[in-house]
């Protein structure tokens, strides 16, 4: 394939990765036309909503970009056939959840959605088409994509050829726009130099050349899994140390600062918390362990499995601690839950530690008063599942902090939303029952601000009452 002057792009999948990524490309490349297609009509309608507060993903800075580029050079549609037909380059950005049945169930990634949309590409593409894997996928998925595309001749009577690239996305939710506008690096894996150059030319519109690295396909696919495994490992490491700090009288914040100054370790991604959530870390490590087992490396698999075990344990130990501090009984006790998203600045709840902790507390008979600035009630009910339905009288939700604290016996702060940093704890003190506890699992409450309060205070990695 010769280097193509790309004019029209299609992205299959209008989710947390596809939506923001294509918005930023459209913003930075006004000469390109970008169509984002999804089979979920409701999602596409939300992306097209006149009221920008209704677009399906909350990310700081995203609404402003959508306002600038939507229906100019960025379009959201369910029309898959013609969109694929008219595109020079197609990004695959569909979901790759963990398999729920069959070989590798509970570990391997399910690439059904990748396969299904690749079949659509194979069927409708015309001419030379570059297919780019954006979704996080198991190593050697490109092989499956290539095989499907190469067999397109039977269904597709048009003259067509394909080149497959891997271009994993490293954005983190909550900072997606900043990460996309100013990435640490862009990784492009592939075999065909001209196709790699065509994709590179797009990024060169706003990313410096030295930040764009190219590798073979398999290194690119594996680098994404490795990056997520290393990041998750740092969190499990600091969370493991947080438990040790609590019993030895050390302070995890001080330990974090002390080790973070070592340039070999670095200061980022060392905040102890209630355990990592999000759609990637657990799924990708499970996928990695499956790959290791598949390739006959059980020791490597069990090494990475520990990162997940510590994460599950961190959530469990926080739940148990809440129960213990409340005299081993939370039945009919009101508890305020501050934050339900898996981290601040996102409305995403996938794998949020709040899900496990709230379910356990509901199971113990607690009455939960849940607050989150961006997650909505229906999403919380969905995450709490059957328990959410059965116990619907036992939990309530509010976007407003107003009456969340009335008569509660505990406050469990689970997400580091900015609004929680400015709570006037003296006012809260007047509303709660006594004795009561504040559990700060994110270390964002300033102990000076609660000096005059009656409630007891616990912080992750410190644990001393003050
Ligand atoms: C992650 C990767 O960072 C990103 O590169 C990849 O593309 C997708 O997966 P994301 O899951 O969106 O991104 O958010 P991230 O900021 O990595 O946080 C993941 C979880 O770790 C959150 O629950 C967060 O609260 C937790 N975390 C993060 C900590 O507990 N401590 C930290 O120091 C950092
Ligand atoms: P991610 O976090 O990786 O972006 P999401 O689940 O948020 O994942 O988004 C993936 C999107 O891909 C969903 O909106 C889903 O409807 C869409 N999708 C899955 N398969 C197809 C397909 N064959 N054609 C079009 N869209 C698809």
The residue ranges of every structural domain in the chain are: 8-215, 249-466
Question: Collapsing DSSP states into helix, strand and coil, what is residue 273?
Answer: coil
Peptide bond into 435 cis (omega under 30): yes
Closest ligand, as measured to the CA of 133: 2
Residue 275 sits at the vertex; the CA angle it makes with 377 and 101, to the nearest 5 degrees, is 75
pLDDT in tens, 407-420: 999 999 999 999 99
pLDDT of res. 391: 57
Mutation probe of ligand 1 site: the residue of 231, 238, 243, 444 with most atoms within 8 A of C-beta: 231
Q: Residues of the chain whose pLDDT is less than 70?
A: 153-154, 387-392, 463-466
Say how many Å lie between the CA of residue 12 and the centre of ligand 1: 24
Structure tokens at 375: 């997650």
Say how many Å lie between the CA of residue 134 and the centre of ligand 1: 18
List all residues whose CB is within 6 A of at least one atom of ligand 1. Answer: 169-173, 228, 231, 235, 269-271, 273, 276-278, 280-281, 342-343
pLDDT of res. 392: 63
pLDDT of res. 389: 61
Among 29, 117, 280, 358, the one annotated catalytic:
280
Structure tokens at 78: 């369910």
Third-level CATH fold of 8-215: Rossmann fold (3.40.50)
How far is CA 10 from each of CA 93, 170, 217, 329, 335, rounded to the nearest angstrom? 10, 20, 21, 55, 47
Q: Is 280 a catalytic residue?
A: yes
In 185-284, which ranges are E strands? 186-189, 212-215
pLDDT of res. 285: 96
22 CB under 6 A from ligand 2?
no
Say how many Å lie between the CA of residue 18 and the centre of ligand 2: 8
Residues in a beta bridge with 152: none
38 CB under 6 A from ligand 2?
yes
Kindly report the protein residue whose alpha carbon is nearest to atom 17 of ligand 2.
Answer: 13
Residue from 433, 422, 419, 428 nearest 452 by CA? 428
Closest ligand, as measured to the CA of 95: 2
12 CB under 6 A from ligand 2?
yes
Question: Collapsing DSSP states into helix, strand and coil, what is residue 157?
Answer: coil
pLDDT of res. 390: 57
Third-level CATH fold of 249-466: Rossmann fold (3.40.50)
Closest ligand, as measured to the CA of 311: 1
Q: Please tell me if the domain spanning 8-215 has the same topology as the one spanning 249-466.
A: yes
Mutation probe of ligand 1 site: the residue of 136, 186, 278 with most atoms within 8 A of C-beta: 278
Kindly report the protein residue whose alpha carbon is nearest to atom 20 of ligand 1.
Answer: 276
Question: With contact defined as beta carbons under 8 Å apart, do 166 and 190 qualify?
Answer: yes
Kindly report the protein residue whose alpha carbon is nearest to atom 6 of ligand 2.
Answer: 95
């Amino acid at each position: 394939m010769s280097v193509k002057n790309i004019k029209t792009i299609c992205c299959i999948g209008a989710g947390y990765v596809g939506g923001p990524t294509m918005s930023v490309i459209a913003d930075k490349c006004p000469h390109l036309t970008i169509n984002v297609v999804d089979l979920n009509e409701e999602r596409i309608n939300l992306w097209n909503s006149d009221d920008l507060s209704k677009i399906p993903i909350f990310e700081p800075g995203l609404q402003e970009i959508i306002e600038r580029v939507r229906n100019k050079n960025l379009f959201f549609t369910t029309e898959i056939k013609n969109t694929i037909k008219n595109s020079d380059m197609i990004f695959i950005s569909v979901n790759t959840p963990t398999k729920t049945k069959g070989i590798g169930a509970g570990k391997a990634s399910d690439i059904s959605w990748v396969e299904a949309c690749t079949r659509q590409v194979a069927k409708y593409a015309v001419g030379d088409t570059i297919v780019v894997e954006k979704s996080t996928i198991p190593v050697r998925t490109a092989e499956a994509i290539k095989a499907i595309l190469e067999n397109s001749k039977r269904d597709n009577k048009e003259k067509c050829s394909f080149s497959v690239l891997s271009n994993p996305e490293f954005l983190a939710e909550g900072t997606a726009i900043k990460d996309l506008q100013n990435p640490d690096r862009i990784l492009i894996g592939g075999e065909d130099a001209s196709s790699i150059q065509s994709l590179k030319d797009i990024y060169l519109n706003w990313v410096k050349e030295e930040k764009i690295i190219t590798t073979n396909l398999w290194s690119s696919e594996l680098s994404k899994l490795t990056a997520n495994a290393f990041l998750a490992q740092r969190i499990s490491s600091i969370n493991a140390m947080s438990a040790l700090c609590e019993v030895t009288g050390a302070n995890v914040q001080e330990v974090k600062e002390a080790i973070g100054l070592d340039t070999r370790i670095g200061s980022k991604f060392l905040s102890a918390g209630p355990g990592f959530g999000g759609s990637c870390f657990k799924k990708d490590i499970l996928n990695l362990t499956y790959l290791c087992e598949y390739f006959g490396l059980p020791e490597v698999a069990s090494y990475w499995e520990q990162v997940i075990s510590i994460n599950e344990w961190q959530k469990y130990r926080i739940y148990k601690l809440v129960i213990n501090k409340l005299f081993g009984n939370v039945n009919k006790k009101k508890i305020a839950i501050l934050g339900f998203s898996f981290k601040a600045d996102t409305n995403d709840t996938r794998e949020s530690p709040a899900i496990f902790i709230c379910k356990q507390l509901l199971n113990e008979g607690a009455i939960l008063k849940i607050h989150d600035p961006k997650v909505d009630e229906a999403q919380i009910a969905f995450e709490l599942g059957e328990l959410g339905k059965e116990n619907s009288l036992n939990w309530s939700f509010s976007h407003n902090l107003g009456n969340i604290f009335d008569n509660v016996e505990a406050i469990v702060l689970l997400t580091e939303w900015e609004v929680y940093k400015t709570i006037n704890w003296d006012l809260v003190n007047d509303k709660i029952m006594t004795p009561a506890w504040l559990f700060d699992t994110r270390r964002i409450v300033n102990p000076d601000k609660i000096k005059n309060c009656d409630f007891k205070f616990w912080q992750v990695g410190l644990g001393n009452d003050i």
